[in-house]
A = this chain, B = another copy of it.
Amino acid sequence: MSGAKILNVTGLNNSEAKWVALDKIEYQDPSGKKRVWEMCHRTSRKGDCDAVVIFTILSATKDKPKETLLVSQFRPPVGKLTFEFPAGLIDENETAEQAAVRELKEETGYHGVVREVTPIIFSDPGLTNANMKLVVMDVDRSLEINQNVVAVPDEGEFIDVFHIPVDKLYSFLIEKANTTHAVDARLLHFAFGLNVASKI
């Protein structure tokens, strides 16, 4: 994956952009005063939710502890390899549950079962309306379908899959963020919550 790199960056206007756009919002603040805010939105949204983000729990086996799955890929906006939860945009006429099962299979090869889906949550509400649901999935490693799995990424996707013991997630991510990788903030917040739960 070390071959990926940024070649050139240029400004882009809405009329030339396919996936994103800027908006000027005129709004009334709580005191009644008229103000302006600038934002970015994804133009790809099909329903009321852009994407699913997947927290996977891989069952323990006789050789392996309970693990979760991370994906690593070169992300042009940050110019680096990232660590993120498996995730993807929801297709037209697809539920969040269906998108999660499909994306987990595509990105990691595993067949998972949905345990829980959160309401819609917002990536960075001061900057964008980009939103998602967090989906918790169980992967039973004793099943035939989950032996020797093979990912089936979309064209143009180059994704490495990592199996990380759940209790090592936070220390793994901090080490990577301090050295070589860009770590997704939602993933790190999750790992931080897991890690501090026993300490506060």
Query: A residues engaging B (CB < 8 A)?
Result: 1-14, 16-32, 34-35, 37-42, 53, 55, 57, 66, 74-79, 82, 84, 118-132, 134, 136, 156, 158, 166, 174, 177-178, 182-198, 200
CB distance from A199 to the nearest CB of B (A): 10
B27 lies within 8 A of A39 (CB) = no
Q: Quick one: given A17-B22, A26-B8, are A40 and B40 in contact (CB under 8 Å)?
A: yes
Q: Which residue of B has the minimal Cβ distance to A20?
A: B38
B128 lies within 8 A of A128 (CB) = yes
> Oligomeric state, in number of copies?
2
Q: What would 5 A/B residue contacts be, using CB atoms closer than 8 Å?
A: A4-B27, A8-B25, A122-B185, A132-B185, A185-B186
Q: Which residue of B has the minimal Cβ distance to A158?
A: B30
B11 lies within 8 A of A22 (CB) = yes
CA distance A183 to B178 in the complex (A): 28
Q: Which residues of B contact A9 (CB under 8 A)?
A: 23-26
B16 lies within 8 A of A30 (CB) = no
